[in-house]
Amino acid sequence: MSTTVVSERPAGVFTVPRPVDISLNPFWDVVHQNEHFLLQKVKNSGTALKSLLGTIQNVLATKQPTYRILFRKEPHSVHLQIATAEVQSDIEVAWMWIIETLCEPLDGLDDPDEKEAFVVSKVNAIVSETEQEEDHGTMDDNLRAASRSFHQTFEVPASERLVNFYSCAYHSRVMYQGWLYVSENYLAFYSYILGIENRILLELKDIQDLQKAKSKKGVFADALRVITKDGQNYFFSNLFQRDETYDVLVQLTSVAMQRLLRTTGLDQLPGSSIHDADMETLADSAAMMQNSGNSPVADSKPQNVSLRQGLAEQEKDRKFYTQYNLANTEHVYQQMRAALILTPQDNEQQSFIGSIYISNTFLVFASSDLKDPCTVRLPMYAIRRVERLTSRSHVYAISIVTWHHMRLIFQLNAPASACEEFCSTLRDFLRGQVKQMKVLKGFLSHLYSEHFLANQTENEPAHGLGAQFGFPGNPRKTKDRSKMKLWHKYYEGVYSRLVFFIESNNAVSAEYGRNFTMIQGATFFKLIRVGLPNKLRGETWEVCAGALFLRFANAGVYERIQRETAGRVSVSTQEIEKDLNRSLPEYAAYQTDEGIDALRRVLVTYSWKNPELGYCQAMNILTSALLIYTTEEQAFWLLNVICDSLLPGYYATTMYGAMLDLAIYEELVKKTMPIVSKHFKEHDLQLSVACLPWFLSIFINSMPLIFAFRVLDCFFAEGPRILFQIALAVLKINGEEILAATDDGQLIAIFKSFFATLDHPLYPHSNNPKARSLTKFNELMLIAYREFSTISNDMILSMRKSHQLKIVASIESFTKRSAIRNLKETGDFTKEQLSAIYDRYCNALYYNRKQNDRSDTRMDFGVFIKFLGSIAPWAKLTPEEEHQELAIENGKSFIWRIFEYLDADHSEGISLQEVVSGLHRLLHSDLLERIQVFYDVFGGTNAEALGKSHIVELATAFLFLFRQESDHRKYTSSVLEFVRNAVEFSETPNEHGSSDLRDLDLRIDMTLQQQKEIIEQALEDVNIRLSLPIFRMVIMSNETIELYLGSGFASTFKFTEPIQDRQKSLGREILDTYYVAKSSPSSKRPRSVSATSGLSLTSQQSNSSAANDGKPEASDPTDAENDDKTEEYDEHLDISDNLDKLLIDL
């Protein structure tokens, strides 16, 4: 231990222990060895076997490192690989370390199993320790190594990126210590211990629930339970970074769920034009809109960060813009602790401790004290001046003067260098916003608050239909005037300055600011809770929701969309038209064209902006309510914020957001009012039936308008949590009646009558006049705020994340059901087959779509190849084939033909219906029909005849189809026969006849391209013309091809196997098992989950159906053992056959 270099454990060399077989000695030279360990170097000599190994490595896209260290596991021939390296010096260091630290303890152990356990735990500890070291260099190395073993162990696309890996234990009957891998699309586990191998690969999109748990004895909070959609339950413990693992998984699964929601809805976008061509311009304008929202510096986002860091950044940004209601293009560049100091005119100096952020366009400060809230969201373009304050007390303080001449003092709580950096970032971003600043003045003149403070009476800015048609409620009763005064005071009545610098600070116009520069402090929330005054209501909503910033950044967009979409019709616009008169008919404006037209314009424009969502009932009610207090453009941007971020998914085609929040609500009821919840359960009452409209219409549809607007005030200021708080308070207040209700109808009736009496006095007989003035609505809000104050927006957001997996699962099953039901033609497929086609269809779309793609539910050619590969093995291209571009072009051109054949409407995209109808024609036909199908596929429908190029293509296609058949010679000769017959039967006479074709030979080692060229060459001087009847003759005179078209072809399509193929093993493991099987068939050996598919080049076709049942058996390693053994053995025989062939050819 005391020696120099050696005792430093060489990082990055040790790997997760995995089994290898040393009977592969031919490939390896032993460099060092002792009783316990072997150090080997790969052989250089180019033997046949070497190239065989090379082939297999190539097929599997794995590269064996040059050096490796093995732990000898006597008496087995299977050893454990514990370290690998490319350079000898690296491996030697590891070897020395092993000799020094591991050998002596090993000598002391007798039981071989104990020895193994010792080594495995030691090596695992090293790998995991180095992973935890903060040094980025080694971490990346480790991650790279882990990524390599992840790709080697599991069959995942080469492009799949590993996010992180964690040491953990998997519980089935026994506990298996191993590694948990988290990648973009998968969760995987691998362990190899005491001769038992466990391999689990789960698709993130198949996860239905993720739960934090305590490990089995209930002591350590270090476990995670994963439940998949097929009901499997996986339990992992000993996760030292459990919370991190959980967070990463939650983040990744929610990305997966969002994608899933996009891919499962198979209908056309409801908001997209009925005439498809119209859409392109709109997509352009949508893209432009995105850009205009971006700041010019957005491109300077840090590049080249690791996936894990990237995800963490993404999550940080998401939290940031969700919390402060900013556009989702905002990225946090600077963040630090800071204090904000304000000195209001008539009050004590106020100071707030919290965090300050700089994002693309905003300077944000938020107090971290929940009891004393203070939030500042200053757009850069509303900042007039920034100064560094010189101070004797070594405090780094900056003074910011806003557009409205309000001075804010921030004391930055960080080392001076960080503060400097902070300021320089701020300076850069301020410069970028100079342009916007110029626009601001004109924009502000249309805001009511500016007009109000200027004490003007003329040219009142527009503030909604209410100005003309009257605002709901009696303004005297709601004390509108005194509220206006309070807001006036809030806007202007106070000023701020740093207390230490009073002398140098000539009073700047003082206030809490307004519109763009308003500080949201405790007083602000109080003012909101008493209800906003009519004329300031719309603007304050906008400010709270951040819609004001959006409207400013996207000036003119509302009109532009209207101009560009004028006169177009979509499903959504039709639906909107039907609902216009059913929105808020009791309000006077909506009995006139003026009101209805405004409502139509806002809804229709939104449906064009977001065609994926289009229009959902309840949006009409919401919008009609907004329009009483806002202009059309204001309502439009408010609607954007509501649909995109405040109530995400509420109005989507699947309405997943509404389902999600209802589920969360029910859970909260269960937690806070267990008796009521139990009553619902006992009497089978559906709370969601009654509550859906509360959430969907933000209570507008349920409460009298004056109260609904009070709720809306709070909703915009406090966020979605308020909906839950109020909904819970409704139950609380009506608890007794609810406990007497026994059916859904009664429940609804209770709520209806409660809402109808919200204006009734709470204490009608009280002597105290103040108490008498309290209404039931006051009680409701009091209870909502007091008793359910623990419900925070963060809590709702995290519950949305944890519940969404279940919701998405149920939506998936619904959309699947309706997609299949909506098929106009289902061919002769059984329900199971249709369901399998649907699954594969969605799966192919899911994995081949970029994250932010608009939801086009048709497959393009790239997706189609993947889809076809998942149902027909011959269409699945092995990694090796993918690399041989030329060869595979020929296969692809055949698949392209099929693609064109299925694409009935020539839209270069295939819908589910086209797949089903097309596959039906392809598969459910007799020989004669299928010959015609092939004729049509190659010649096009109604072709007069097939020519030479068609025949070459057909022959190549047959060779492509047959490339995996085991009896290669038979099939190639049948293809040659086909070519000869085509020449012979050709309707155009040939001088030479087909004699030249007799000696043609196609060898197995030729690529498809070479084979094609041979055929092409042979046919150089001949003409071919085959009409359909003659083509039939050509086929029917060819026994092999006739049989293949008659039945073989259709039977290559498999609908019953699971989508996820069993995972590939490593090349060396195939050989391991092969040798083990040969030398001692009965000896206990590591269970290689899928020994066969690794050799897919030659053997996949012959035994794929037998081997590909079910998931990896890792979940019950012992039960299936006996059943499987014989089957496994058979597979090995197959392999040996194929290997022999391979060897001969070599």
951 makes contact with other proteins (CB under 8 A): no
583 makes contact with other proteins (CB under 8 A): yes
Measure the CA dihedral 129/130/133/138, to 10°. -170
Residue selected from 136, 144, 582, 969 as contacting other proteins according to rule CB under 8 A? 582
Cβ distance to other proteins smaller for residue 663 or 910: 663
Stretch that binds other proteins, among 54-62, 281-289, 484-492, 807-815 (CB under 8 A): 807-815
Please tell me whether residue 914 adopts helix, strand or coil conformation. Answer: helix
912 makes contact with other proteins (CB under 8 A): no
745 makes contact with other proteins (CB under 8 A): yes
Cβ distance to other proteins smaller for residue 362 or 587: 587
701 makes contact with other proteins (CB under 8 A): yes
586 makes contact with other proteins (CB under 8 A): yes
Q: Determine whether 856 is exposed, middle or buried from the number of CB atoms within 10 Å of its CB (0-12, 13-18, 19+).
A: middle
Residue selected from 13, 20, 56, 696 as contacting other proteins according to rule CB under 8 A? 696
973 makes contact with other proteins (CB under 8 A): no
Residue selected from 620, 878, 981, 1098 as contacting other proteins according to rule CB under 8 A? 620
C-alpha–C-alpha distance, residues 1052 and 1109, integer Å: 16
Residue selected from 21, 155, 575, 1061 as contacting other proteins according to rule CB under 8 A? 575
988 makes contact with other proteins (CB under 8 A): no
Report the b/e string of 65-91 with b at 16+ CB within 10 A: bbbbbbbbbeebbbbbbbbbbeeeebb
Residue selected from 105, 114, 526, 814 as contacting other proteins according to rule CB under 8 A? 814
Site string for other proteins, 94-133 (x = CB under 8 A): ----------------------------------------
User: What is the residue type of 886?
Assistant: L
Q: Cα–Cα distances in Å, from 730 out to 365, 721, 786, 859?
A: 34, 14, 13, 48
SS (H, E, C) 821-864: HCCCCCCCCCHHHHHHHHHHHHHHHHHCCCCCCCCCCCECHHHH
CB 359 within 8 A of CB 333: yes
Stretch that binds other proteins, among 51-59, 103-111, 561-569, 689-697 (CB under 8 A): 689-697
Task: Pick out residues in 246-275 that bind other proteins (CB under 8 A).
Answer: none
Stretch that binds other proteins, among 71-79, 581-589, 595-603, 718-726 (CB under 8 A): 581-589
C-alpha–C-alpha distance, residues 75 and 94, integer Å: 24
Cβ distance to other proteins smaller for residue 274 or 1133: 274
Cβ distance to other proteins smaller for residue 810 or 893: 810
Residue selected from 689, 771, 1043, 1143 as contacting other proteins according to rule CB under 8 A? 689
Cβ distance to other proteins smaller for residue 7 or 742: 742
Supply the minimum distance, in Å, between the C-beta of residue 267 and other proteins.
9
Q: Cα–Cα distances in Å, from 512 out to 344, 401, 407, 492, 1134?
A: 8, 12, 9, 7, 81
- Compute CA 56 distance to the chain's CA centroid, rounded to the nearest angstrom: 34
Task: Count the alpha carbons within 13 Å of 293 in the hemisphere toward its beta carbon.
Answer: 19
C-alpha–C-alpha distance, residues 581 and 926, integer Å: 57
User: What is the residue type of 1022?
Assistant: V
62 makes contact with other proteins (CB under 8 A): no
1146 makes contact with other proteins (CB under 8 A): no
Cβ distance to other proteins smaller for residue 202 or 662: 662
Stretch that binds other proteins, among 705-713, 727-735, 741-749, 788-796 (CB under 8 A): 741-749
Residue selected from 23, 686, 826, 1027 as contacting other proteins according to rule CB under 8 A? 686
240 makes contact with other proteins (CB under 8 A): no
Nearest CA to 1060 out of 1115, 1108, 1094, 1114 is that of 1108
Stretch that binds other proteins, among 42-50, 391-399, 571-579, 592-600 (CB under 8 A): 571-579
822 makes contact with other proteins (CB under 8 A): yes
Stretch that binds other proteins, among 80-88, 655-663, 710-718, 934-942 (CB under 8 A): 655-663
Site string for other proteins, 329-368 (x = CB under 8 A): ----------------------------------------
Q: Cα–Cα distances in Å, from 146 out to 153, 166, 170, 667?
A: 10, 10, 18, 39
Helical spans, DSSP H, in 996-1095? 1008-1018, 1028-1036, 1039-1043, 1049-1051, 1067-1079
815 makes contact with other proteins (CB under 8 A): yes
Residue selected from 290, 294, 323, 617 as contacting other proteins according to rule CB under 8 A? 617
Q: Cα–Cα distances in Å, from 1027 out to 461, 897, 939?
A: 77, 19, 10
581 makes contact with other proteins (CB under 8 A): yes
CB 790 within 8 A of CB 799: no
Helices vs strands, H then E, count in the chain = 47, 22
User: What is the residue type of 78?
Assistant: V
Query: How big is the site for other proteins, counted in residues (CB under 8 A)?
Result: 43
573 makes contact with other proteins (CB under 8 A): no
User: What is the residue type of 24?
Assistant: L
CB 413 within 8 A of CB 339: yes
Residue selected from 338, 447, 532, 621 as contacting other proteins according to rule CB under 8 A? 621
C-alpha–C-alpha distance, residues 1003 and 969, integer Å: 8
CB 247 within 8 A of CB 212: no
662 makes contact with other proteins (CB under 8 A): yes
Cβ distance to other proteins smaller for residue 228 or 815: 815
674 makes contact with other proteins (CB under 8 A): no
Please tell me whether residue 166 adopts helix, strand or coil conformation. Answer: strand
Q: Determine whether 158 is exposed, middle or buried from the number of CB atoms within 10 Å of its CB (0-12, 13-18, 19+).
A: exposed
C-alpha–C-alpha distance, residues 408 and 321, integer Å: 22
Cβ distance to other proteins smaller for residue 328 or 746: 746
Stretch that binds other proteins, among 426-434, 657-665, 1037-1045, 1127-1135 (CB under 8 A): 657-665
- Compute CA 767 distance to the chain's CA centroid, rounded to the nearest angstrom: 60
817 makes contact with other proteins (CB under 8 A): yes
Residue selected from 328, 335, 688, 848 as contacting other proteins according to rule CB under 8 A? 688
C-alpha–C-alpha distance, residues 967 and 842, integer Å: 35
Residue selected from 200, 618, 910, 1030 as contacting other proteins according to rule CB under 8 A? 618
Residue selected from 748, 904, 1028, 1036 as contacting other proteins according to rule CB under 8 A? 748
Question: For binding to other proteins (CB under 8 A), which residues are involved?
Answer: 575, 578-579, 581-586, 591, 616-618, 620-621, 652-655, 658-659, 662, 684, 686, 688-689, 692-693, 696-697, 701, 742-743, 745, 748, 810-811, 814-815, 817-818, 821-822
